[in-house]
């Protein structure tokens, strides 16, 4: 090892990605220890770094070429010692001149003063904050002004950020290509419109609200009743869009994105209240490059006075006809009663048509009580389907297992809460010897013994595990309320008002 040329040694070190392996490498020789320190580009620290300032000074002095640092205190308790504070960020900024990617998670002891030290990091391109309760708009604005190369900004559960002067500045003078805002109570969808010209450069955007978002949504201050208008904003570069738990009824807000995007490749719409089918059909017809679509829907009173999910087979038909590159599809139906299939706007025929028309490689159906064995037989003819996940699909039986295993490319199958599938269905999978991976969770009539040999790799659990992302949502149906469990698993339970 001592005689290896320096370029070869550097290449070996770059190929080792596990931290424990890199640490072991340092014990082999002084040369390897020095080379590893020189070529280490990323590091993650958190609980156990105590005393923090002294430890970080020693750590960052050794790894002077770091460009990516994550400080994560998830699961921290006082018994772990002190957290990194403002002084630790000062140490980081002074000892890592190449730093361009910073993630701070659950760092409760870092405030605006500490974040301001990142102004010394002139190459900073990515800043991700997750649960930073002491950081306000002032700290974000200082970073926005000082770090002119900032292109990625994530704000998750940052409860003290409200004033959006920083957003206006980044929209006018910045170069953000990726913006994620989740669970920031002080930032509404209408505040984000102040990003203005910045929308033209944005390539990825996520906005999510949780809690009782359907009760206290602010009104768009520029809205005028009865006046047809649109926001004069351009988003020609947007390729990845995710909107979750927002209301688009009446006021436009972030709804303008659905009418402006032409280059989308990935679209996630999760429980967005106020979707109009004509608008979605127009979106699908414009975005022929779509590769991933995730639609999570719940039944509401629609314009035709029906109580159902907002989209119907007309949307699936537009997808099938206009998006020839579609490869990943998720369709989730929450709070739809199996005894009332009309609460799901889609039909089995519509879903089958979509899968057979596009090169779908990965399909997830959640709560699709409209899917029966006949539909699974049709899905088995899909020439591209490699991964299939069925969650709470109560109408499929063991016959579906005999059908779906005939799909030419299927190698990965997941079944969750499929109550009519039994060990006989697992036996059909075992006889085929085709699956590389099988996951069975919460299927009461499937036993641990039944899944043995059904795939090369098998994961089994008799208990129901969390899968969906609903938090505290409820709807009314015929005078009753349906609630979402705190574990995030969709289930039908009814309580009297």
Question: What is the Cβ-side half-sphere exposure of residue 13, based on CA atoms within 13 angstroms?
Answer: 26
E strand or H helix that includes residue 438: strand 437-441
pLDDT at 215: 58
Asked whether 33 and 1 are in contact (CB, 8 A), the reply is no
Going from the N-terminus, what domains does the chain have, and what CATH number goes with each?
A: 1-40 (1.20.1280), 381-465 (3.80.10.10)
Asked whether 68 and 98 are in contact (CB, 8 A), the reply is no
pLDDT in tens, 278-326: 999 999 999 999 999 999 999 998 877 889 999 999 999 999 999 999 9
Which pair of structure tokens corresponds to residue 392? Answer: 């709470």
pLDDT at 37: 66
% of the chain with per-residue pLDDT over 90: 66
pLDDT at 347: 97
pLDDT at 491: 27
Given a cut of 50, the residues of the chain with pLDDT beneath it are: 228-229, 469-497
pLDDT in tens, 201-238: 999 999 999 866 555 555 666 665 655 445 788 999 99
Cis peptide before 51 (omega within 30 of 0): yes
Question: What is the Cβ-side half-sphere exposure of residue 425, based on CA atoms within 13 angstroms?
Answer: 24
The sheet carrying 480-483 orders its strands as 474-477, 480-483, 494-496
């Amino acid at each position: 090892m001592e005689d290896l040329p320096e370029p070869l040694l550097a290449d070996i070190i770059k190929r080792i990605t596990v931290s424990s392996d890199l640490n072991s490498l340092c014990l082999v020789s002084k040369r390897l220890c020095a080379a590893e320190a020189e070529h280490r580009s990323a590091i993650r620290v958190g609980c156990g770094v105590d005393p923090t300032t002294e430890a970080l000074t020693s750590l960052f002095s050794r790894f002077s070429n770091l460009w990516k640092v994550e400080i994560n205190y998830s699961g921290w308790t006082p018994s772990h010692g002190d957290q990194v504070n403002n002084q630790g960020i000062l140490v980081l900024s002074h000892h890592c001149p190449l730093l361009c990617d910073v993630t701070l998670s659950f760092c409760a002891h870092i405030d605006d003063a500490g974040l301001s030290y990142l102004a010394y990091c002139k190459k900073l391109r990515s800043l991700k904050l997750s649960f930073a309760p002491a950081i306000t708009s002032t700290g974000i604005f200082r970073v926005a002004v000082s770090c002119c190369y900032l292109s990625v900004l994530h704000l998750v559960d940052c409860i003290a950020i409200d004033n959006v002067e920083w957003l206006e500045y980044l929209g006018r003078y910045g170069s953000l290509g990726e913006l994620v805002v989740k669970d920031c109570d002080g930032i509404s969808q209408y505040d984000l419109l102040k990003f203005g010209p910045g929308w033209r450069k944005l390539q990825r955007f996520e906005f999510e609200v949780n809690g009782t978002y359907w009760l206290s949504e602010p009104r768009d201050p520029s809205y005028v009743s009865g006046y047809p208008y649109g926001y004069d904003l351009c988003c020609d570069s947007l390729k990845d869009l995710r909107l979750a738990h927002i209301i688009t009824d009446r006021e436009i807000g972030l709804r303008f994105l659905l009418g402006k995007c032409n280059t989308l490749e990935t679209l996630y719409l999760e429980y967005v209240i106020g979707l109009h089918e004509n608008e979605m059909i127009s979106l699908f017809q414009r975005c022929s490059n779509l590769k991933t679509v995730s639609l999570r829907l719940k039944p509401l009173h629609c314009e035709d006075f029906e109580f159902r999910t907002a989209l119907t087979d007309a949307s699936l038909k537009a997808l099938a006809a206009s998006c020839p590159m579609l490869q990943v599809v998720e369709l989730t139906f929450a709070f739809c009663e199996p005894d009332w299939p009309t609460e799901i706007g889609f039909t089995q025929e519509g879903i089958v048509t979509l899968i057979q028309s596009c090169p779908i490689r990965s399909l997830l159906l959640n709560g699709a009580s409209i899917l029966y064995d006949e539909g699974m037989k049709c899905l088995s003819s899909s020439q591209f389907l490699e991964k299939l996940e069925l969650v709470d699909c109560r109408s499929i039986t063991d016959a579906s297992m005999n059908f779906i295993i005939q799909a030419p490319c299927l190698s990965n199958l997941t079944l969750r809460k499929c109550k009519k599938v039994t060990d006989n269905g697992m036996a059909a999978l075992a006889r085929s010897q085709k699956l590389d991976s099988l996951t069975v969770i919460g299927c009461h009539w499937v036993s641990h013994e039944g899944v043995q040999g059904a795939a090369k790799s098998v994961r089994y659990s008799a208990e129901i595990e969390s899968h969906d992302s609903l938090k505290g949502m409820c709807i009314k149906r015929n005078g009753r309320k349906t609630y979402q469990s705190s574990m995030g698993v969709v289930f039908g339970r009814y309580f009297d008002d």
